[in-house]
Amino acid sequence: MNEIIVRYPPSPTGLFHIGTARTVLYNFLFAKNKQGKAIMRMEDTDKTRSEKQYEENILSGIQKLGMAWGVDWLSSTDEVVYQSERAGVYKKYLEKLLAEDKAYYCFSTPEELNILREKAQKEKKAFRYPETWRNADKTLVQEKLDAGEKSVIRYKLPKDISEITFTDAVRGEVTIKLTELDDFVIAKNLDTALYNFCVVIDDNDMKISHVIRGEDHISNTPKQILLFKEFGFNIPTFAHLPLILNADKSKLSKRKNKVSVDDYLSDGFLPEALVNFLALLGWNTSDEQEIFTMEELIEKFSLDRVHKGGAIFDIEKLKWINQEWIKKMDISEFYTRVLEYWNSEDVKNSEKYNFDISLFGDLNNEKNILFLREALALVKDRTKQLSEVFENLALFYTDDASLEYSTDIYFHKKMKTSRETAVESLEFAKNIIENLDDNFEFTAENLKNLFIEKIKEAEFKNGYILYPLRVALSGSEFSPGTLELLEIFGKERSIVRINRGIDLCK
C-alpha cells in the first residue's frame, strides 16, 4: 500500500478557529492511526488577506492542541511549506497548460461579468462564464497582453467529459455534471496562481494520499480532479467532513459563536477537552464512550465512522467534557494546570478576567501552597471551566470576622431553616466545636461522625444544623460540603465564621 500522507492546509486569513482545528485533528488522527505523515502547508496565496499574525496563531494553536505536524513522526516533512514561496513551480504548470491550449487568458472585466451575473440571478439561473475568450484570436490576445490589459487565466473545461465521479471516503460516490462548472479561473496571472490550481500541484508534489477537509470544499473537488487528470497526476482519496453548525442549524459563524481556539483556551477549557470535543464533532465510536485521550482517539479513529450530516456545536457538551477531564485529574495536576492558566499570557492580558493571584499569598511559601491545594481540592470536581476557579476560591480567603452575605440564604425550604432558626443551629454547632478535646483530630471524617451523633442525640435533622453551618462557613448558598469546610478552616477560623453568622442573623 502507498504511504499515507495528509496535509494541514490552513489559510492564514484569520485566527485559528474551531473549524480548522477540527479539520487538522481529523487529518492528524487519520495519519497517526495509519502511521502516516502530515505536511504543514500554509495556503497564503491571497496576499491581501494573509497575515503573519494569523499564521503564527494557527501554528501555535496546532501545537497547543497537541497535533504537531513535525518532530519524530514526520522526519523529512516537518517544515512548514508556504504556497507563496512556490509561485515559480505553479508558473511552469500554467505555462504548460497555456502552451497546450488547455488554458487561456480572459479579458472580460469584473463589470462585464457582474452584469451577466445579475442577469442570471434575475432569471434564476446559475451564472456560468460564457467562454467569451475561450477561442479568441491569439494575436489579439498577445496584443492585449503586450498593452498590459488586465486579465485572468481560465482553465478550458474539456468538452469530451460529461461528468466527474469520485468516491468520497465519507460520502460515498459523488457525481458532478460538467454542465455545473464553467471555465474556472486558475490564476490571476502567471505569477499568481489561485487556490484550485495550487492545491493540485502541491498535493501531487507532496504525494498526498488523502485530502481530508470541510464539506464546503466539495464543489472544488471536481475542478481539482479535472486538473489532476489534465496533468496525469495520481488522484488522492477525498474525504469531506460535515459542516459545523450552530444549535439553530445555521452554519457556525464568527458572529454567533466565539470560534477562535485561543478564546476557548482563555475561557478555561483544557486542550485535552477541546480535542476530545472536536473529535466528536462529526465522528463517534460504535459504543457509548465520550471521553477519549488523544491516544485512544488515534487508535479508534476511522474515516468510515465520520458522519455525513452537519455536526452541531453544543457548548454545554464542551463544558461537560471539560468537567469530566478536570474530575479525572489528581489534585497536583489540577494545582499545576490552574496556576499555568492564571499565569498564561492570554488570560493575564485579557480584559475579561481579573485574576489577582496575590490573594493567595506568596506561593513560594509551603503553608500557602498547602492551603491553596486544599481549597482547590474542594472546588475541583464542581469546576466546568478553569475560569471559574478564582471566584470559587474567594470564600476561603475573605476575612472571617467580616464575611459579607445576605442572610436570606439561610432560608431553605427542605431543611426547614431560615435566618431566625439559624441562630439555634449555629449555637449548637459552635458548642460542639468549642467543647472538643485538644487531641481531637479536626478532619471531615471525624467531624462527620461526631456531628451525626450529636445531632441525633438532640433530635434535630441533619440539614437543620449542617445547612446553616455551611452558609456561615462559606457565606454562600452553593459551596463545598460543611464538614470539608470545617476541616479546611480549622477550629479557630470556623468559630470566628460561626460567630459572624450568629451576629448577622440576630
Catalytic residue set: 254
Size of the site for ligand GLU (CB under 6 A): 7
> Please, what is the minimum distance in Å from the beta carbon of residue 222 to ligand GLU?
13
**What's the CA gap between 143 and 192, in Å, rounded?**
21
The full DSSP string for 276-292 is HHHHTSSB--SSS----
- Cβ atoms of 352 and 268 closer than 8 Å: no
Cβ-based neighbour number of residue 410 at 10 Å: 25
Cβ–Cβ under 8 Å, residues 322 and 273: yes
CA-closest candidate to residue 91, choices 204, 201, 9: 201
Q: In angstroms, what is the minimal distance from the CB of 208 to ligand GLU?
A: 10
Q: Which is nearer to ligand GLU, 233 or 371 (CB)?
A: 233
φ, ψ dihedrals at 273, nearest 5°: -70, -40
**106, 112, 113, 116: CA torsion to nearest 10:** -130
> What φ, ψ does residue 120 adopt, rounded to 5°?
-60, -40
Q: How far is 25 from 137, CA to CA, in rounded Å?
A: 49
Question: Which CB sits closer to ligand GLU, 31 or 372?
Answer: 31
Measured from the CB atom, is 28 or 360 closer to ligand GLU?
A: 28
Rounded to a whole number of angstroms, the minimum distance from the CB of residue 199 to ligand GLU is 5
Span 35-54, contacts to ligand GLU by CB under 6 A: 43
Q: Is 193 helix (H, G, I), strand (E, B) or coil?
A: strand
Q: At what angle do helices 462-474 and 482-505 cross, to 10 degrees?
A: 80
For residue 79, the 8-state DSSP code is S
Q: How far apart are CA 434 and CA 442, in angstroms?
A: 12
Q: Which stretch binds ligand GLU (CB under 6 A): 6-14, 96-104, 284-292, 445-453?
A: 6-14
Residue 421 engages ligand GLU in binding (rule: CB under 6 A): no
Q: How far is CA 173 from the centre of its chain?
A: 30
Judged by beta carbon, residue 13 or residue 407, the one nearer ligand GLU is 13
Contact letters for ligand GLU, residues 198-227 (x by CB under 6 A): -x-------------x---x----------
Say whether residue 10 binds ligand GLU (CB under 6 A). Answer: yes
Least distance to ligand GLU from the beta carbon of 223, Å? 11
Region binding ligand GLU by CB under 6 A among candidate stretches 3-11, 65-73, 280-288, 384-392? 3-11
Please, which residues bridge with residue 239 across strands?
212
Q: Which of 4, 5, 6, 11 binds ligand GLU (CB under 6 A)?
A: 11
Task: Find the shortest distance in angstroms from Cβ 10 to ligand GLU.
Answer: 5
Determine if 196 is a binding residue for ligand GLU (CB under 6 A): no
For position 266 contacting ligand GLU by CB under 6 A, the verdict is: no
State in angstroms the smallest separation of the CB of 154 from ligand GLU.
Answer: 20
Using CB under 6 A as the binding rule, whether residue 9 contacts ligand GLU is answered as yes
Residues at the interface with ligand GLU (CB under 6 A): 9-11, 43, 199, 213, 217
